[in-house]
Amino acid sequence: MLNVNEFSSAKIQLFFQLTKLYLLFRIILHSSLFTLHFFPYLCTMKTAIIGGGAAGFFLAINLKERIPEMQVTIFERSRRVLAKVEISGGGRCNCTNSFAGVTNLKQVYPRGHRLMKRLMHEFDHRAAYEWFERHGVPLVTQDDECVFPFSQDSHTIINCFLREANRLGISVQREHRINSLDELADFDFVCVTTGGSPRREGLAWLEAVGHEIEQPCPSLFTFQINDEALHELMGTVAETATVQIPGTKFRASGPLLITHWGLSGPAILKLSSYAARHLAERNYQETVSVNWLSQNEEQVRAELTVFAREHEAKLVASLNPFGLSSRLWLYLVEKVGMGISRWAEILPTSGRGLNRLVNLLTNDTYIISGRGVNKDEFVTCGGVSLSSVYPSTLESRIYPQSQGTSSPRLFFAGEVLDIDGITGGFNFQAAWTTAYVVAKSIAAESLNVKQFSC
């Protein structure tokens, strides 16, 4: 039998034990990680991703990897997911770039470079490279700094995404178009990864709830030029050309390809990206100036003079000092009326031809009559304005507050945002970076919400 003193000390001890247990229980219950891992049924959260493209899948996988209990559903309007990944890079998928030689992101992201600079601290090209290799997609960097799957086949990336989505239990609803955010009222988080929309109407449902839209227009296109003599040079490449739109700051350098409809190649695609909005505003009626050598007038004049002195008796058409293709050289020489001239005739002392040839080599102008029909590398300039999202999370600043509710929370990733890059893997890098940041933001938010509500 306990005496009175022993009985009250046992009671005190029991009280302390129970208090300790209660406090431990409260700490455990309020630990969101514990709740998430051991009581997922208490507070399962749901994320809807609108668009089963590059950004949508990358976002879904990264979110599920962080929060396995999150229910993640991708809604894709068409029967095929990842359709652009499949055709990208000529079926090889140029999935990122080494960024070697990129000194300012504005060089590669004409729209969105400031935001990309900020977000790439979270997930850059090195992180993307590492991510793909860790998920079973070995990559290779080409001499031109473009990164491709080692298999040289975009299906390696598609298979990786589908396998991971399946393994992680991500639901993929094909042929399910979302027309309004109201359809997703049951979800806690909604991510818009619907890609570029070249027509503003495609973004009307986002504009209707208050988001600002930067007028969409195409980027990365070739130039249609109605010049039959030029078309005859189809397939000719000038390796180091500079193209510019006279009277503007828009200029780009790189290989220039002559096609049966006009001008193409990296230099033109880059210029079309830099000047995308300018050209759209002019309905693709503009002048383009070609510097076939990327050298200034003085350099070209000096080289021509030296060359002419050395080869006075030879025909200008038959000898070309700059390593241009002989077809292109002949075309240029004939254009300045020197098809049958000898090099001696262009010397300054003879007063003929030098200025015309220098001018043509450094400032050969053509009238652009439209956008090329080739859609090999087509992205949208414009989209959801970056002023409508918080820069560190990519969450909408507008929705759901504009509707007077508190959920679902809305995020954006990929080309639907007003971010676009030149060719070379920069557009996919933007998709990976923005999708990663959204996945991370939602994961952090979901932990906060659970801590509050569980």
> Which residues contribute to the site for ligand FAD (CB under 6 A)?
50-56, 75-78, 83-84, 87-89, 93-94, 177-178, 193-195, 376-379, 414-416, 425-428, 431
Helix (H) or strand (E) holding 208: none
Encoded amino acid at 174, one letter: R
Decide whether 39 or 205 has the Cβ nearer to ligand FAD: 205
CB of 18 vs ligand FAD, minimal distance in Å = 54
Residue nearest ligand FAD (C-beta atom): 53
> Rounded to an integer, what distance in angstroms lies between the CA atom of residue 342 and that of residue 15?
111
> Could you tell me the smallest distance in angstroms from the CB atom of residue 81 to ligand FAD?
6
The continuous run of DSSP H or E covering 222 comes out as none
Nearer to ligand FAD by C-beta: 194 or 264?
194
The amino acid present at 394, given as its one-letter code, is L
Quick one: which H or E segment has residue 408? none
C-beta of 304 vs 422, nearer to ligand FAD: 422
Burial of 260 (0-12, 13-18, 19+ CB in 10 A): exposed
Instruction: State in angstroms the smallest separation of the CB of 283 from ligand FAD.
Output: 22
Residue 303 to residue 138: CA distance in whole angstroms: 47
Beta carbon of residue 373, minimum distance to ligand FAD (angstroms, whole number): 13
Pick the closer one to ligand FAD by CB: 112 or 262. 112
Residue whose CB is less far from ligand FAD, 93 or 252 = 93
Contacts 24+ apart (CB under 8 A), 349-354: 353/316, 354/301, 354/304, 354/305, 354/308
E-strand stretches of 152-284 = 171-173, 189-192, 213-219, 223-224, 237-244, 251-258, 262-264
Shortest separation between residue 82's beta carbon and ligand FAD, angstroms: 7
Of 219 and 291, the one with the shorter C-beta distance to ligand FAD is 219
Q: To the nearest whole angstrom, how small is the minimum distance from the Cβ of residue 434 to ligand FAD? A: 8
Cα distances (angstroms) measured from residue 25 to each of 15, 39, 226: 15, 14, 78
Q: Which helix (H) or strand (E) holds 299?
A: helix 297-310
Q: How many CB atoms lie within 10 A of CB 133?
A: 12
Nearer to ligand FAD, 230 or 252 (CB): 252
Residue 191, beta-bridge partner list: 49, 411
Other beta carbons within 10 Å of 8: 11
Using the structure block, give the residue that is written with the tokens 């600002």: 212
Least Å from the CB of residue 25 to ligand FAD: 44
What element of type H or E holds 344?
Answer: none
What span, in angstroms and rounded, lies between the C-alpha atoms of 88 and 148? 10
Complex with ligand FAD: residue 51 or 254, whichever CB lies closer: 51
Tell me the closest approach of the beta carbon of residue 335 to ligand FAD, in angstroms.
34
The amino acid that residue 234 corresponds to is M
The CA distance from 323 to 315, in Å, is 16
As given in the structure block, the two tokens for residue 258 are: 């002559």
* Min CB(306)–ligand FAD separation in Å: 43
User: Which C-beta is closer to ligand FAD: that of 76 or that of 286?
Assistant: 76
